[in-house]
Structures are given as C-alpha cells and as structure tokens.
C-alpha cells in the first residue's frame, strides 16, 4: 500500500527526490521516464524567488512540464484539484524542504535521498560519495522517516536502494 492510499491522500506524487542539484540529466532522462512523471516540481523557497532559476530550470527539463514553487505552493498544488490528472515528481532541494512538504500532508509513494553536495561553511560528514549530511540534517531525515517514510538512497531508478537511516547510523550521525 502506498503512503497516499494508507492516509486517504490521493495526491499523485509518485516520487520525491532530495537533490540539491535540482534538474539535471539523471532526473530528466532516467527518473522521469521510470516513474512516468508528467510534471516536475522543484520545491525550495529561495529558488522559487529567483527569476533566473525559474526561467532556466524548466528549460533543463527537456520538455517535461515543470513548476518551480515555494514549499507552501508545492503542498497547495499537490493537494489541490489541478494535480488530480498529473503524475508528479518533486525535487526538494534540501531535507528541510522535504520535511515541510510531508508535514504539509503530501504523501509521495517514494522518498529518495539523491545528491547533497556539501554546503559551504557547514560541518558535514560524507555519508556516500555524493551525499553530505550535517548533524542537523541527520535529525531532519529522521523526522521525515518519523512521518512514515522508508527513506531510500539511490542514484538511478534501477539501482538497489539503501536504507538511508542505516547509512546515517553507520556514520554515527
């Protein structure tokens, strides 16, 4: 049973990827096709307020309908009537964006921790070759899991997912 049907939420969010690279070839070539996404939503308040990124990101999506929204607008869209005929993939820039989305009531069928490059000036640990995590972010990932999600970590849809909380434990985060 998906998280959507388990909670009665019928929002058509097939996948949420936490990836601070946002839209790139991996997303548009493999993930979109694999899950059958008809709409990409980039969710981050700062990106949504940046005119240049709002113009550029849909162009990077290679023809896939794309919205660049604040976290609150992402929740409103996914739970609203306009989303009923869409198959949505959300790309949350950071873990705290993803947490706010699930706390807002959106229940993606899958939550995947993609790429997280280190943020300058933070004390981080590399959990995988492509995912850095601070102690604060580790708590945010745990909070996402506490909402009821099995956080997975995989780069490509065909990869075998790894339990992200176990990876955090191995790194003592």
Question: Any idea which residues carry the catalytic annotation?
Answer: 24
129 closest CA partner among 149, 140, 115: 115
Q: What kind and span of H or E run contains 67?
A: strand 65-69
Buried-state track 61-95, b at ≥16 Cβ within 10 A, e below 16: beebebbbbbbebbbebbbeeebeebebbbbbbbb
**Structure token digits, residue 146:** 């506490």
Using the structure block, give the residue that is written with the tokens 């995989």.
154
Q: Do the Cβ atoms of 115 and 148 come closer than 8 Å?
A: no
101 closest CA partner among 55, 93, 163, 121: 93
């Amino acid at each position: 049973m998906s998280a959507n049907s388990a909670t009665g939420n019928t929002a058509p969010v097939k996948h949420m990827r936490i990836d601070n690279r946002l839209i790139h070839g991996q997303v548009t070539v493999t993930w979109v096709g694999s899950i059958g996404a008809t709409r990409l939503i980039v969710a981050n308040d700062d990106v949504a307020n940046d005119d240049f990124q709002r113009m550029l990101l849909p162009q990077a999506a290679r023809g896939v309908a794309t919205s660049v929204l604040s976290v609150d607008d992402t929740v409103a869209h996914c739970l609203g009537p306009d989303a009923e005929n869409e198959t949505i993939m959300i790309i949350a820039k950071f873990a705290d964006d993803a947490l706010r989305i699930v706390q807002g009531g959106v229940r993606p069928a899958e939550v995947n921790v993609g790429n997280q490059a280190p943020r300058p000036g933070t004390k981080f640990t590399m959990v995988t070759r492509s995912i850095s995590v601070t102690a604060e972010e580790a708590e945010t990932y745990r909070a996402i899991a506490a909402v009821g999600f099995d956080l997975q970590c995989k780069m490509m849809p065909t990869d075998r997912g790894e339990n992200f909380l176990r990876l955090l434990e191995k790194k003592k985060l």
